[in-house]
Chain A
Amino acid sequence: MIIAIPLLAAFLTPLIGRISGKARNIFVITSLAFVGFLVIILARDIFLNGLHVYTLGAAEPIPAGYMVPVRIMLEVDSLSIFMGIITATISLIAVIYSFSFMKGETGHNRFYTLLLLLVAGMFGMEFTGDMFNLFVFLEIASISGAALVAFRIRFADSPEGGFKYIVVSAISALMVLFAIGLFYAQYNLLNIGALAQAMQYTMLDKMALAILIAAFAIKLGTVPMHMWLPDTYSVAPASITAMLLAASQASMYALFRICFTLYGVTLNLATVGWIVIVLGLFSMFIGVTMALRQTDLKRLIAYNCVCESGFILLGLGVGLAVLGNPGALATYGTMAISGGIFHMINHALFEGLLFLVAGAIFYRIGTRNLNEMGGLGHLMKFTSILFLLGALASSGIPPFNGFASKILIYESVYQFNPILAIIGILVSIITLAVFMKAFFSAFTGPVLPKYKDVREVPKSMMIGMATLAVIIVLFGLFPGLVREWLTDPAANALINQGAYIEGVMGVVP
């Protein structure tokens, strides 16, 4: 249902858009709000009753007379629904923001159609229980994403960013398909749960694992494969950048679903865990030092995204490294995973807010170049406060949400290896320096004469940004509740491989 509604709505949108623009806007926002409502209902149900399995076209997961699941299946557990909540929130806010932001552009029908397709692709990636469907939805998300990146085609750099995005996505998705082929060759299975049960960790499985880790790592912009990310994020319209952020989180979800659920305890855990940790460390350090150097506001935030995803990889990598060791898992492994997952939603929220603010500045003064900005704080007071809020949350300053998740990561990682936590804190400090540079050169200083007439942004953009800001503050003030209701169940779902397999295969005798 959740996937079907955006998909159907995507194809209805151009038809309604022909009748009137306003009806289309209302239609888009209603369908997304309805999807968000469904996600919340499902989340509550999953929290109370455990994971859900939907088999398309049949009632039972395994048809009579077969030993293995042959139908296409959706499998939703606490982690999937957690990602679903991120996607629903970000897409709803991005749509509200887009109403004003895209007013000056043409082709609104196509814009909203692609946007809904992107939403459908993301939900599909998060909820699917089938490797091949993962590939299909990955491709849906990347094609619509690339088209949206290049949407403002009158700028010279937009098609370039879109082209880089589509090439990177196409190659990584084809590599994913190759890895799926390797699985199919050995086990004749495509379902994640059934595959996890049959997993032998042979030579071909190791090859497939290497390909899958690299393919999803390039999609989420891990150093040293991050160079496409700033190119793409900086040219996309601001609301789309926030959506792409959620899309890269869906890739991150796929990466961890594969590492934890598909391979699980058959992995050589310490090795793969350290691979993920090292990728995370590189992302954190190189991401933040490159961000310090940028003079383009959105590129700066994009490099900071690379850095923040490094934190998530660090937390979950530590969890992965100790997955086979129950004692360590209980003392700090679960906390590391929970902190990483918490940081995922925080990452989406505050980086989304920063991109929207950067878009608001672009909307008013028409440039992303920090060298040409100055004194905007006098003219756009509200926007500058929101930027400061997002920046502080991102650098992990209390009492915002970034601090809550980062302290979870630091504390658990410190028990695993103190040096990692120290690097993490150092990176956080440089992040603060990065944002002080951006804030200083954009918002402070005297009012520049050429921007005398700059006013605040329109209302719908303001509503979008303010909603994100309110969520950030709430998450910062009540981290205990978030942890109890959202991230701990998700972390447990990730650790508990057996439950996921049982959902598909029935109780194993």
Chain B
Amino acid sequence: MTGNIPFNIPFVAVAALISIAIYIIISQRNLIKIVMGISILAAGINLFLITLGYREGGVAPIYTHAPQDVMVLPVPQALTLTSIVIAVATLALMLSLVISIYRHTGSIDSEESRRMKG
């Protein structure tokens, strides 16, 4: 794994996704857009994990029927699966909280729907 992945498109995509996500999260005042930003961040990091495990010309890592040649690494795929599940749970919770913030304050602007500061 040490250094045999050339500089390639997936890593550029990862960098782009993460920077877009962070830009959205820090610049957009709309709560729904913040949630979308977090979702994009999760997608970028999942792509990062998957890319780490990719081998040129590999096949799916199913041990029972796999031919004895190059397989992509199974561990990052397991990690990604777990992290997608977690991301979904987080997303659902965040959206439901946004809904109830909207019900209470009538706004989904993070500047107008704040009660607490100082």
Contacts and interface: CB of A to CB of B under 8 A. Distances in A.
Interface of A: 70, 132, 135-136, 139, 143, 146-147, 150, 153, 156-157, 159-163, 166-167, 170-171, 174, 177-178, 180-181, 184-188, 190, 230-231, 234-235, 293-294, 299
Contact of A181 (B31, B52, B94): B52
A114 to B, nearest CB: 11
A163 B94 contact: yes
A174 B90 CA distance: 11
Contact of B93 (A147, A294, A299): A147
A167 B38 contact: yes
B97 A159 contact: yes
Contact of B83 (A157, A167, A177, A186): A177
| Secondary structure of the B contact surface, majority rule | helix
B38 A159 contact: no
Contacts of A187: 1
Interface string B106-118: 0000000111101
B93 A160 contact: no
A156 B116 contact: no
Given A167-B94, A171-B25, A185 B82 contact: no
Contacts, number: 90
A159 B42 contact: no
Secondary structure of the A contact surface, majority rule: helix
Given A166-B90, A171-B41, A190-B75, A160 B49 contact: no
B45 interface: yes
B110 to A, nearest CB: 9
A181 B76 CA distance: 9
B104 interface: yes
Contacts of B1: 185-188
B101 A184 contact: no
A178 B48 contact: yes
A227 to B, nearest CB: 8
B45 A170 contact: no
A157 B48 contact: no
Contacts of B90: 139, 143, 166, 170
* A-B interface, 5 closest residue pairs, ranked by CB to CB distance from nearest: A156-B104, A159-B100, A163-B97, A157-B115, A139-B86
Given A160-B105, A161-B116, A166-B97, 18 more contacts: A136-B82, A136-B86, A139-B86, A139-B89, A143-B93, A146-B93, A150-B97, A160-B115, A163-B98, A163-B101, A174-B42, A177-B45, A178-B18, A178-B48, A187-B1, A234-B116, A293-B118, A299-B116
A180 B18 CA distance: 16
Contacts of B114: 160
A180 B78 CA distance: 14
B27 interface: no
A178 B101 contact: no
Interface of B: 1-2, 18, 25, 31, 34, 38, 41-42, 45, 48-49, 52, 73, 75-76, 79, 82-83, 86, 89-90, 93-94, 97-98, 100-101, 104-105, 113-116, 118
A160 B116 contact: yes
Contacts of A161: 116
A311 B59 CA distance: 52
A151 to B, nearest CB: 11
Contacts of A186: 1-2
B76 A174 contact: no
Nearest to B41: A174
Given A166-B97, A185-B1, A159 B86 contact: no
B94 A170 contact: yes
18 contacts: A135-B83, A139-B89, A143-B93, A150-B97, A160-B116, A161-B116, A162-B97, A163-B31, A166-B90, A170-B90, A174-B42, A178-B48, A181-B52, A185-B52, A187-B1, A230-B116, A234-B116, A235-B116
Nearest to A231: B116
Contact of A171 (B38, B79, B93): B38
Nearest to A139: B86
Scoring B2, B49, B89, B97 by chain A CB atoms within 10 A of each residue's CB, the highest score goes to B97
A143 B97 CA distance: 12
Contacts of B75: 70, 184, 190
A391 B74 CA distance: 53
A174 B80 CA distance: 12
B74 to A, nearest CB: 10
A143 B38 CA distance: 14
Contacts of B94: 163, 166-167, 170
A135 B82 CA distance: 10
A188 B1 CA distance: 7
Contacts of A167: 34, 38, 94
A162 B101 CA distance: 10
B51 to A, nearest CB: 9
A96 B43 CA distance: 41
B86 to A, nearest CB: 5
A353 to B, nearest CB: 24
A171 B37 CA distance: 10
A157 B116 contact: yes
A389 B96 CA distance: 40
B118 A143 contact: no
Contacts of B52: 181, 184-185
Contacts of A294: 118
